[in-house]
């Protein structure tokens, strides 16, 4: 059984607050890795389908296949990123930018 590091440095001795904070951190990363990555991949597929210079059916197929790669990379990055703020900004900023480009400029 693994133990979480505590502020006092003694393994296995957790305060209630640090355990709750750790669980919240994991829950927010799971939410980012599933919902945030899905939103980024969906908007990227939407934007790429409009931007790719090929017949519409081919552009949709290629953008959908690329969305699977984007989703996978974003989900892995959500557990690799050291800061929750950087994680959420790194997922939401490109999602909103791609959505704005696809919605208002194309």
Check residue 39 and give its pLDDT. 97
| pLDDT band of 80, cuts 50, 70, 90 | very high
Check residue 105 and give its pLDDT. 86
Q: How far apart are CA 39 and CA 96, in angstroms?
A: 10
Measured over the CA atoms of residue 38, residue 44, residue 47 and residue 50, the dihedral's sign is negative
For residue 22, pLDDT over 90 is answered with: yes
| Structural domain boundaries, residue 44 | 16-105
Residue 41, domain member (yes or no) = yes
| pLDDT band of 106, cuts 50, 70, 90 | confident
For residue 1, pLDDT over 60 is answered with: no
- Cβ(17)–Cβ(4) below 8 Å: no
Residue 4, domain member (yes or no) = no
- Cβ(43)–Cβ(95) below 8 Å: yes
Domain count, the chain: 1
Residue 64, domain member (yes or no) = yes
Fill in the DSSP letter of residue 52: S
Arithmetic mean of pLDDT over the chain = 90
Residue 3, domain member (yes or no) = no
Check residue 15 and give its pLDDT. 85
User: Which pTM was predicted?
Assistant: 0.82
Residue 10, domain member (yes or no) = no
Query: Mean pLDDT over residues 72-82, rounded?
Result: 95
Residue 58, domain member (yes or no) = yes
């Amino acid at each position: 059984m693994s133990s979480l590091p505590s502020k006092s440095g003694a393994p296995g001795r957790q305060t209630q607050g640090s355990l709750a904070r750790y669980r919240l951190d994991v829950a927010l990363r799971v939410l980012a890795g599933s919902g945030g990555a899905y939103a980024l991949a969906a908007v990227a597929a939407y934007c790429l389908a409009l931007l790719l210079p090929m017949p519409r059916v081919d552009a949709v197929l290629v953008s959908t296949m690329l969305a699977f790669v984007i989703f996978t990379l974003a989900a892995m990055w959500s557990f690799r990123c050291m800061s929750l703020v950087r994680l959420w900004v790194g997922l939401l900023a490109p999602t909103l930018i791609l959505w704005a480009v696809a919605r208002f400029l194309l």
